[in-house]
Structure 1
Amino acid sequence: MTDPKSVAVVGGTGNLGAAIARRLAKAGRRVVIGSRSSESAGKAAAELGFGLTGAANADAAAACDIIIVTVPFAAQGATLAGIAPHVASKIVVDTTVPLVPPRVMRVQLPAEGSAAVRAQALLGAGVTLVSAFHNVAAHTLITDEDVDCDVLVFGDDKAARAEVIGLALQMGLRGLHGGALVNAAAAEALTSVLIFLNKAYQVDGAGIRITGTLIDPTD
């Protein structure tokens, strides 16, 4: 284990995963990009730079302290099954949004209530599941530009939520406690609304911003 905690980005060759990995590595974190193919992961890591390394998903998860899962909803089950033996007692951050093509502008939450609740059930109680990064445009995050949106962070463990809020801060984002894991359904559903807004109003990556004067709940 390392200090600060190392991060595996499972599915890190995709748009969101690559953007998260690049931002964290640039900020000084040790980050391993995971992919179904170690060769693909290594290639992506080399292209992104900032000391990133690549490995197969399971190996990346085994090697790191915090695991961020950035895969499409259709791949969530198989991906989590593949890393499950390597994530006991670790924080797993699930970014999955249950989009069901072609109707991605319609909210279609799974029978479990949310992709996050489904992820917790698939991984078991021994894993600390946090849900975040649903409403951030990957094509903006991959740049060095400021990202004008907040990140809502959900989970039943407040300390784990705070850890993920710290990751968001390192990425140049404001992370906010969103409450219990079941609340992740709100952010997951909001993604379809944001996609609709992008199309209807020709927005290049709509996000959310919480207004008002916020007092740190940890103070």
Structure 2
Amino acid sequence: MKLKNNISPVLMIMAICLHYWAAPIFAEEKSNAVRCANGKLNIQAQNVPLGMIMEEIKNKCRVNIFGLDGRVKEPITFTASEELPENALKRLLRQLDEDNYALEYSRAGLNRVSVVPKAMAKGSSPPAAVSPPFPFTPPPPPQPEAPPPVVSVIDIIPGSQGESVGLQKGDVVLDYDGTKISDSQQLIQEVKSKESKPTVEVTVLRNNTPMTFVLKGGFIGVNIANSNPK
């Protein structure tokens, strides 16, 4: 009987200690590093796992980030204050040393970021025997009142960075690193003039939806031609 009387207080003390010790342990697993309001993104992260930041961005900002599954446990320290989501995420990816990614938009704004893993991006150099990167067909003679031609992707060169970032046959090139594109020869000259830049942005129209891709300056790895808009 004495043994039972001695055990009961001990168990009560242990239960009380566990109650108070458990609270901060589980609290540390939660994070409020991300806040979205009025179309602006705020991030205050100090050694927060990347996967937790990505999950908060998905839940609070409705932006899905793909391609970083192997890095979700990395502790991240990053700050963004009242920035557009695409600007903040570009800075975050630059901090992570990720150069190849695509931004996809809906009518509501940015909704998807697809990162190309480094292992795939390494295959961006063209094969030695590949044909010139930008053969093009001269546009037909202009027709009266016909809309101006657009620059369309007619083929993707295997192993190129165009393939690795997800460019597709039928994409219409709208903009190359801030320059609006209206002619295939113009695009060729823009690519040549910026081949030394570490990153450039290419905006295309796919299924009436604009999409922005980030890749290295220079050789893209797509065949293009002027075509009539559909």
Counting strand residues as a fraction of each chain, which structure ranks higher? Answer: 2
> TM-score category by the smaller chain?
under 0.3
Query: What is the TM-score when the length of structure 2 is the normalising length?
Result: 0.21
Q: Which has the higher helix share?
A: 1
Q: Give the structure with higher Rg (CA).
A: 2
User: What is the TM-score of this pair, normalised by structure 1?
Assistant: 0.22
